[in-house]
């Protein structure tokens, strides 16, 4: 990610088609290597003994639509955790227009923006360690409050950025409130609450992804539309989503959350 963004920006400076041509070539090369050397992709030998069939489950999984409804109907805890997860998943979808804003408002060229993306990749690597440290220093309510505050600050800095330096400043709150940090605890809590409500791990995960995907389908073009109205609006809206995600989670008290997770 770091090398790709950096090299892509410099290559696009001379010819914007080159990064995409190289991306296609890399996909073909890696796909060929996987097909040749990864055993799971090989055609099985007809004479080989087939593995024993997995035991049939006593109960089939619910249909995706039914699973989505169960997320919203299986108690207040799971419902609020679902809402918080979906809201936080759309906060960073402004990345789809961030490069446009960097070019039009901040005057950053492809090479400069590629450097910023590479630095952002380093931040993402560091945020994993930051997540574990933060979870060790505070309880889950304090952790979620902190990361949503950092996320809101990042969106506000981006909304009012007027020079490239401001975009680099957003990497500070990104370290403590990026998407990977925010979902660390929320996804785990959501899975536990879904299991406690009688749902399977895969079933609840697929249903949550469905809801997040639908929200993304709506939010992504909406961000582009409001950007045409004012270039600061998408990040102000994203900051609002981060606040609402925290409000939905904060509505769960500690005791209520423990009961919803099946803890005794």
Co-location of 84 and 198 in the same domain: yes
Residues above pLDDT 90, as percent of the chain: 38
Give the whole-angstrom CA distance, residue 73 versus residue 252.
Answer: 16
Give the whole-angstrom CA distance, residue 219 versus residue 29.
Answer: 34
Give the whole-angstrom CA distance, residue 18 versus residue 26.
Answer: 12
Does 208 fall in a domain? yes
CB 91 within 8 A of CB 151: yes
Query: What predicted TM-score, i.e. pTM, was given to this entire model?
Result: 0.73
Which residue range forms the structural domain that includes residue 24? 2-39
What digits encode the pLDDT tens for the residues 141-181?
Answer: 999 999 999 999 999 999 999 999 999 999 999 999 888 88
Does residue 110 surpass a pLDDT of 90? no
| pLDDT at site 63 | 39
Co-location of 18 and 114 in the same domain: no
| pLDDT at site 227 | 95
| pLDDT at site 4 | 54
Co-location of 198 and 245 in the same domain: yes
Co-location of 168 and 214 in the same domain: yes
Does 150 fall in a domain? yes
Give the whole-angstrom CA distance, residue 160 versus residue 146.
Answer: 22
Does 134 fall in a domain? yes
Does 13 fall in a domain? yes
């Amino acid at each position: 990610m770091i090398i790709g963004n950096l090299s892509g920006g410099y290559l696009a400076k001379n010819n914007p088609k080159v990064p995409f041509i190289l991306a296609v070539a890399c996909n073909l090369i890696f796909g060929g290597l996987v097909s040749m050397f990864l055993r799971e992709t090989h055609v099985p030998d007809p004479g080989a003994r087939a593995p024993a069939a997995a035991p049939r489950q006593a109960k089939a999984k619910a249909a995706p639509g039914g699973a989505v409804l169960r997320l919203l109907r299986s108690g207040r805890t799971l419902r609020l955790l679902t809402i918080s997860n979906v809201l936080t998943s759309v906060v960073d979808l402004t990345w789809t227009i961030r490069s446009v804003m960097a070019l039009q408002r901040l005057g950053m060229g492809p090479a400069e923006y590629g450097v910023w993306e590479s630095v952002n990749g380093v931040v993402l690597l560091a945020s994993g360690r930051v997540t574990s440290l933060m979870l060790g220093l505070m309880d889950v309510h304090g952790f979620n409050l902190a990361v949503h505050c950092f996320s809101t600050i990042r969106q506000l800095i981006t909304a009012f950025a007027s020079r490239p330096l401001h975009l680099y400043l957003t990497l500070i709150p990104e370290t403590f409130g990026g998407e990977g940090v925010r979902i660390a605890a929320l996804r785990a809590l959501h899975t536990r609450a879904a299991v406690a409500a009688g749902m399977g791990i895969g079933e609840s995960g697929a249903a949550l992804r469905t809801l997040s995907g639908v929200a993304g389908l709506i939010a992504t073009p909406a961000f582009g539309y409001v950007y045409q109205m004012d270039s600061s609006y998408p990040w102000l809206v994203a900051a609002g989503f981060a606040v609402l995600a925290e409000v939905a989670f904060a509505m769960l008290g500690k005791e209520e959350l423990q009961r919803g997770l099946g803890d005794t």
